[in-house]
Every structure is written in structure tokens, then in C-alpha cells.
Structure 1
């Protein structure tokens, strides 16, 4: 660094002064408004915006030399044209007239610096302004969701040099980097104990769900994404324009679709528009059929929150003495957000699928199991294991006797509690038609630190009968022994789960399109779990190991 770095800093200060002079520009300017971040200075002139990069090196970002700054200016224009083609115009040379000792914009053989030139878009057209002005509508949300779905569909990468960024090692490295760079600010952002807990949760999740990360890589969900997807970067103009992607670090831009969308989810929640966040993400999931996304969103949202906390802390390094308070307060807000989402993914989740025979509960349970890579327990499997040779019994007798069914629920409750004790998330599949069985199950988890969501699958009597008739014809391979003859007794004895608290309960209809049922269920499952995690995090004075 030394002498060359000092010279870069001197040149940069002089160039900034030049940009503040209206005569510097080769076109009329109606204003000169300067905005600054820890990595760049931006000048708004009325029609055009000029952005110059600071000669800084933060490890994850290196703009130290003129050559690096030139390279990243061209990268910024190239990459941002993917989502804002007509906004990013060119890279402009900044030259020095040696005779007059003045900087100018134009052509020269040896430019001293480079600037990104783009159209100035009115702030009134940003998504953030639309939200705060209560001007948002379903049509706009659909356009944003579909624009992003189309972008990610085209941005998928298959080259191992890039897909590695979605693998466990890179994901964990990125997450750890946030923790390490927050350590110097530990006292301001919540303490060393909190940072240690966050790091342990990262390790535990990436170890337990390595197979999930690998599956995402194999299925094409690693993309050359945006990297900084926020409401202030989305503009409702000529369709949807999305600005300011990350150009300075591949591993912060390449990654799972979920890590990109997590930034937008976090930002919309921060602004107080959580329902908007769910609506936009739901459009993406339905369009691209990516419901597995919800199983990773908390992990990546926690990561993104810590990125924002880190950036807020770094901004204090360029603050004047005594003016760091607001930046640290912003960092603490993001730390709280990161803590909530870490509690969501870091504590085990127990999902109980209940409902009448042929209601679709087992199919939904299997889908959650497969998409989220969670453990799976089924009353049907336990029953077959206890007595593999048993045949279909009349309702109330044999395997369908009250005592036999109660015993099966006792075994399943104990198995679930054991898995939770080991930190595992579990999908539990059974009719749970008696309130006493549901109570038994919930009581067995009383002391466990876990999230619990009970899901009732429902279908019309006509659909239930049709499915059971298909089962009897042998057209469907089913583990369940429930048949059409059992349906009426099941309906008569079924006790609706009215006692289950709203915050732990979801009812989903399986009458129509199964994929739409999955879309609704996975979104609402995510929402319920996050709300439980927020309550848990708000009560914590210390943080147990995951």
C-alpha cells in the first residue's frame, strides 16, 4: 500500500472536486448531487449519473489500483445490463490535461480514472417509494416476481468453477467471513457470545444439510445473480428495471437463487412490507416450481442480515468522531434480524401432517421430507414394522383398534422427541384424529427447544371417496391400509384440531392442483416457523448451542 496508495487517494480527492464543478461535464447539468458509500462516490446531474470507485481494499472487495477500478467499471456495466439494459450506458474515461492541470471527461490515451455512466431514474419510480407511498398493487408484484423468475431461469450456471459458489464450503466460508469481520465491533452489535452462537448455527446447518446444498447445485439453482437485491434498486419503469448488482466479487454474486432473493425478502421485511415480500417470492416459486427454496430462505436471510450489519459497521470507519451512533444502531437492527432467522433454521422444526385417509397428508409429508431433507416418521410405517404380516382390518379392530393406534402414537412421539434432542427436524405423518393423541404428541415436546407446526390436509368427501376407490383398484401403491369401508367411521370419529393454537396450525386443501397446495403449504410453513422464531429470539438472554 504505502506511497502508491497515498497517491491514489490524492488523485481521487482531486477527481471528486472536479465532479463537483458544472464546467467539468461535457453536457448541461441541472444539478450536482453527491452521494457516497464506503466503496464509491456517485454524482447525479439531472439526466445522467456518474459513479467512481474509491481506492479501497476490504478483502472481499479490492479497488486499490486504477487497473482494478477500470476492470470493475466495465464489469458493472456488463452485468447490470442483464436487468437494466437501457439504464447502464457506458464506461467513461477521466483524463488529465497536463498543460492546464485539469481533469476532463472524454477520450485520451492514458486515462487516470474511469466512471460508470448511467441514466438517472427518479426516486419516485423505485419500489421503495411505491411501497412507502402506498402505491403498490398486485400487478406490480406479479411483474417483479416473474421478472426475477425469468432472470434466474436464464442465469443458471453449470461450470464447476461457478457452481462451487453454491456448495457447502463456499457458503460456509462466506457466512464465517461475516462473523470474523464483525468481531472487532462485537461490543456494539450484541457481544461475542451472540457471534459465537451464530457461527455454531452456521456450522451445524451446513453439516446436517450438505445433501440439500449438493442437490441444489445438481438441479441448476446456482446462478450468476444480482447480489444486492433491495427495494431501492428496483424501479417500476418500462416494465421492471433492477440496478446495482455486485460486480466486485464472484462469490458474493454467484450462489443459490435463495441467497439472492433472501436479500430482497430481508429488505422488504425491514421496511415493514412482509406480505409484499411473501407475494413476490411466491410468484418466483410458483413460476419456477422451486418450493425447496423455502427450506433455505432463513439460512440465507440470516447471512444477508449479517452482511448488512457488517457494512453498517464498516461505514463507521469513515464517519467523523461522534457520528457513529446511527450506523451502529442500524447494525444492531440487522443483527436482531439475523438472530431471528438463525433461530428459525437453527432450532429443529416438527411438522405434524394430519387428516382423514386419502386427504393427501402423506403425499404432502413426503414432499416436505424430500424438498427440505428432514427426517420422516409415519404411523403407517410404524404399524407395518410392528406387525409386517397384518392384513387390512375393520375399523375399530386389529390395527385400527383404539389401543393399537394409541400405542403407535406413543412410539412415534418418543421417536420424534429423540430426533429433536439430536437437533433434527422431523415430518410426522398420521391421521391424529383424536385430540388426546395430539395432546400426547405436543406434551412430549414441552421441554424441547423446537418449532412445532400442525398441518391439517383436507379434501371434499367426493375426492376422498374417489382416491380410496383408486387405492382399492390397485392403481396406486400406498403404504396405508385405510380403504373406502373405513372412511365413514373415520369421519364420524374425527375430532377437528380446534384446540391447536393459530400460530401452530395450517389447514391446506388438496382438492385441486397438488403443486398449488405445495406452494401454499411451504410458504405458510415458512411464515409460521419464522413467527415462532421471532418470539423465541425476543426472550433470549443467552444462546444455547444448536
Structure 2
């Protein structure tokens, strides 16, 4: 039985079994299934799903009154139509008449329901990942959708100070406190303790950067709960749903925290390749490389949040404790990977337009687990369609931007690919200086092709008009005339790859693996 905390009349209470009556719905229904979570009832009718808030009161949620449950339903609708307008339809009252329960009827309201399009749960991203059916292209498309969503999301304007940062700090400490209270639910306590200590230290150490992000407008009304169980393939497109509606402070967050949740979740499901593709595409669209330095912190926090949820589930449902404990332990393990990541590598592409740099670097992102920074994209970000965007001064500024972005990525322990021509020795030397200052290995992948192939590829790309590069044959001729070959002392960090070779990708991956192994080999 579901009781309304705003009344003391048992005769008014909504019973879950009443939702099983097909006649209760304003459309033909052959069969009804009712699911329950800790906070909701969900009636599945075939075409539509009706989500009803339970009158519960927890430390993180108070839905004890009908008026507040109505507000939560309306908030859920408002928030989710931003990302899933085809799924979320409206909010309907639920009333009891002489003929029984009616959804959308007239009379005294017992509850409210969010009406959604019902979808096949086998199409949730978590299920697709489990079956190996989630593809790189749709993950990249999801990243584009999230980037556009964040760009249009309301931004926090707080004249009273850094309320967003302080709210985040309180949320992190609250998560830790709750998790510690339930740490006996199958979670490795020593590992958890190390993560908590690291989180405390990182929170204190990064406070100036958190405040800088808030002042820069990066705290926005985000999804708040962006993980693979809240994303569904709907009509051929991965669609986020179930935004966090019950606590505004938990969704008014740094956009990088929103991103980190899905990145962490993909890592926890052993799909580091898709995590890298998602993150790299998101950054290509937004240019928010400065947020990467905080990604490990946010990923660890998000892993701890999921571990907390799993621990609470284990306590609430003893029969499912083994599964919840296993998931919680996996979250802690995923968090540990962000706390102690391997040393990143800096990979710099090399070659004139049409040599296949972008083609190859795009295919390296997933297997290497890297972020790719594209000179063509960053040049457009700096200059737009300005006629002098290829001038010497503009080129120098573009390379300075690439180094700035790469520095932020490496600070966040992300393997980094710079997709640029790197035709001049001076530009390559500055990348060597960057790698040396960050104490990371550096590899130049020089992409080669016959001159006729270069010209054909550049011409074809111009005709298709679908790539960020705007190089034409005139630019290609100038590049070939001005190329500065690698000197003997540079070649130790160089591997040449013919992109006409069917084994080009395999050879590039072998080169990356070899460079990493060489860096990690013990000194003799």
C-alpha cells in the first residue's frame, strides 16, 4: 500500500494493486505491470509508462506531502523534456471514482503521475554495454548531444559567493559520511579508506580551481545522474532520461562533473575505449579542456556516490545484497583507477593536409584511451572564418592553444593526441619541452602518402565539406614547400606510418605500446 503523507485517511491511500486495472488508464490497455523502486511506483501499460512518487522521507528526499510530490513530478517533466522530449509527455492526476481508480480523471486527486513513452529496457545503455552492442558512433553522437545540452543549460549567477562550490563540497562530504556508515556491505574497507583520504586531499587542494570554474560559468543546471542506466537507445539514438529532480543542488553542478559520471560508469563496465570516445568528442565540441584537470576528482566522487547507492540497496533488500555488494566493490575499484592512473603519453601527429592524420588519430582515441585535440577545430574556435586564420601569427597562436589544452589534459592524467601538421621544427621542439616539463613520454606519428594521394584526399574533402579542415590545394602546396624534415636527433621519438597501408592503425598502436613500455622499463 502507498500512503499519502499529507492525509490521515486510509480510505484515500493509493494501493499499488489498483494500478493493475487496465480500466484505470485513458487509453486501451491489454496488460499492466507495476515496478517499484525505493522512491517510485512505475506502471507499464505497453504504450505508456506512468511514474508515481512514493510518499517517503529520507535524508536526501522528502516526498511526504502530495503537494511536494506534484512539484517533483512537474520538475521531472520540465527537466527531462530538455533531453528527451519524445519520451516525457505530461503530468496527470490520479483520482478515485465510483468505478475505481482513474489516471487523468476528474475528482479528488490521490497522486500525480509523470506520463512517458514506454521503452524496451533491453535498449538501456547498461544493457547494450553488457551485450557488447553499444557502438563508437552512437557514443560520439551522445557526446555531441550532451555538449549542446550543456551549452544551452542555465548558468548559475550567484552574487553572494561561491555557493555552487560550497554545495559541491557539502555533497562530497555527505557522500563520504553515508558511505562510511554502510561500509560493511561488502565494500573493501582499506581501499575505501584510501579513496576517502584522497578525496579529502583533492577537495582541499583543488578549491581555487573549483571557484575559478564557478566564476567562469561552468556550474549549470545539468542532468545530475548521467550514467548508463539513465540512457536509452530510442528510435536509433542514445537518449538520456531521468534527470535528477529531487535536489537542485545535486544537478546545479560543474558540467565536468556531469561528464565524469558517464566516464566513470563506462570505466567501471570495462569500456575505457567508449569512455575516451565520449570524453574526446565532448571536448572537441565544447573546448572545455581546462576542466579535465578536475575529471579524476569528479570521477572518484561519482564512483563513491554509486557505491553509496549500492550499499544502501544492499541494506534495504537483503535478498539482492550479493549483487549490490559486487557493484559497490566495482565502483570502488573504478574510483581507484582514477586516483592512481598510469602515466599518460603525449602523441603528436605529423604530416601535411591529406596525409591521414585525422583519420588515424580518430581511430587511436578509443584503443589508447586518449583525448584528441584538433588544430583545425581549435583554429576555428580562435578565428572563425577569418581570412588570416592560416597566417604565421595565427598559426603560432593556434599551436599555443594546442599546448594549453594538452597541458590541462596531461594534468588530468589523460593520454593526449595533438592532431596538427607539426611541420616546423620549432613547433615540435615546443611539444618536446611540454612533454619534458610534464614528465610524460612523447611520440610523433608521421603520416605519409604519395603526393597524388594527398591532392586527391584534399580535393575530395573540400567537395564533401564535412570536415573541420578547410585546407585546399594551395595550402597543401605551401605546406609541402615549407616542411622541415625531422633532424637526426629528433628521430628517436618518431614513427612513420603510411596511411595507405591496411595495417596503418595496427602499426600505430604498436608504436604507442612500444613507447609506453620503453618509458616504463626499469633503468639498467
- Among 235, 238, 255, the residue aligned to 1:237: 235
Could you say if the C-alpha distance between residues 156 and 122 of structure 1 is closer, same or farther in structure 2, counting changes exceeding 3 Å?
A: same
> What is the rounded CA distance, in whole Å, between the counterparts of 2:19 and 2:279 in structure 1?
40
Q: Where does residue 257 of structure 1 map in the other structure?
A: 255
Instruction: Give the Å deviation of 1:125.
Output: 4.3
Q: Where does residue 84 of structure 1 map in the other structure?
A: 84
> What is the rounded CA distance, in whole Å, between the counterparts of 2:211 and 2:332 in structure 1?
28
Paired residues for 1:33-72 under 5 Å: 33-72=33-72
- Among 171, 175, 190, the residue aligned to 2:172: 175
Could you say if the C-alpha distance between residues 85 and 456 of structure 1 is closer, same or farther in structure 2, counting changes exceeding 3 Å?
A: same
Q: Where does residue 412 of structure 1 map in the other structure?
A: none
Could you say if the C-alpha distance between residues 193 and 125 of structure 1 is closer, same or farther in structure 2, counting changes exceeding 3 Å?
A: closer
Range with bigger deviation, 141-150 or 190-199: 190-199
Q: Deviations over 1:257-277 (max 9, x none)?
A: 111112211222333322122
> What is the rounded CA distance, in whole Å, between the counterparts of 2:164 and 2:40 in structure 1?
28
Q: Where does residue 454 of structure 1 map in the other structure?
A: 441
Could you say if the C-alpha distance between residues 323 and 237 of structure 1 is closer, same or farther in structure 2, counting changes exceeding 3 Å?
A: closer
> What is the rounded CA distance, in whole Å, between the counterparts of 2:4 and 2:33 in structure 1?
30
Instruction: Give the Å deviation of 1:123.
Output: 3.4
Q: Deviations over 1:146-202 (max 9, x none)?
A: 1111111101404218995642x2222111111111122212244655444333322
- Among 328, 332, 338, the residue aligned to 2:329: 332
Which runs of 5 or more structure 2 residues have no equivalent in the other structure?
350-394, 413-430, 449-483, 498-511
Instruction: Give the Å deviation of 1:115.
Output: 0.9
Query: In structure 2, the residue corresponding to 1:55 is in which secondary structure?
Result: coil
CA contact (8 A) 1:89 1:117 kept: yes
> What is the rounded CA distance, in whole Å, between the counterparts of 2:217 and 2:101 in structure 1?
47
Paired residues for 1:302-317 under 5 Å: 302-317=300-315
Q: Where does residue 343 of structure 1 map in the other structure?
A: 340
Paired residues for 1:437-516 under 5 Å: 453-456=440-443, 491-493=487-489, 496=492
Q: Deviations over 1:347-405 (max 9, x none)?
A: 9x7989999xx99998766555567879xxxxxxxxxxxxxxxxxxxxxxxxxxxxxxx
Instruction: Give the Å deviation of 1:250.
Output: 0.9
Query: In structure 2, the residue corresponding to 1:41 is in which secondary structure?
Result: strand
CA contact (8 A) 1:353 1:365 kept: no
> What is the rounded CA distance, in whole Å, between the counterparts of 1:288 and 1:354 in structure 2?
21
> What is the rounded CA distance, in whole Å, between the counterparts of 1:96 and 1:279 in structure 2?
50
Could you say if the C-alpha distance between residues 28 and 353 of structure 1 is closer, same or farther in structure 2, counting changes exceeding 3 Å?
A: closer
Q: Where does residue 381 of structure 1 map in the other structure?
A: none
Give the length in aligned residue pairs: 401
Instruction: Give the Å deviation of 1:58.
Output: 2.2
Q: Deviations over 1:43-92 (max 9, x none)?
A: 21100001111222222222122111111001001110001112111111
Instruction: Give the Å deviation of 1:219.
Output: 2.6
Paired residues for 1:23-42 under 5 Å: 23-42=23-42
CA contact (8 A) 2:187 2:328 kept: no
Instruction: Give the Å deviation of 1:208.
Output: 1.9
Could you say if the C-alpha distance between residues 61 and 77 of structure 1 is closer, same or farther in structure 2, counting changes exceeding 3 Å?
A: same
Paired residues for 1:410-425 under 5 Å: none
Query: In structure 1, the residue corresponding to 2:196 is in which secondary structure?
Result: helix
Could you say if the C-alpha distance between residues 54 and 177 of structure 1 is closer, same or farther in structure 2, counting changes exceeding 3 Å?
A: same
Query: In structure 2, the residue corresponding to 1:307 is in which secondary structure?
Result: helix
User: Which structure has the larger Rg over C-alpha atoms?
Assistant: 1
- Among 288, 291, 297, the residue aligned to 1:290: 288
Q: Does the alignment pair 1:184 with 2:181?
A: yes
> What is the rounded CA distance, in whole Å, between the counterparts of 1:253 and 1:15 in structure 2?
32
TM-score, normalised with respect to structure 1? 0.63
Query: In structure 1, the residue corresponding to 2:210 is in which secondary structure?
Result: helix
- Among 138, 141, 161, the residue aligned to 1:143: 141
Could you say if the C-alpha distance between residues 362 and 354 of structure 1 is closer, same or farther in structure 2, counting changes exceeding 3 Å?
A: farther
Instruction: Give the Å deviation of 1:119.
Output: 0.8
Instruction: Give the Å deviation of 1:10.
Output: 6.2
> What is the rounded CA distance, in whole Å, between the counterparts of 1:460 and 1:214 in structure 2?
42
CA RMSD of aligned residues (A): 4.2
Query: In structure 1, the residue corresponding to 2:441 is in which secondary structure?
Result: strand
> What is the rounded CA distance, in whole Å, between the counterparts of 2:300 and 2:326 in structure 1?
18
Q: Where does residue 418 of structure 1 map in the other structure?
A: none
Q: Deviations over 1:96-129 (max 9, x none)?
A: 33x67x4322344531211111111233544445
- Among 267, 279, 282, the residue aligned to 1:281: 279
CA contact (8 A) 1:145 1:281 kept: yes
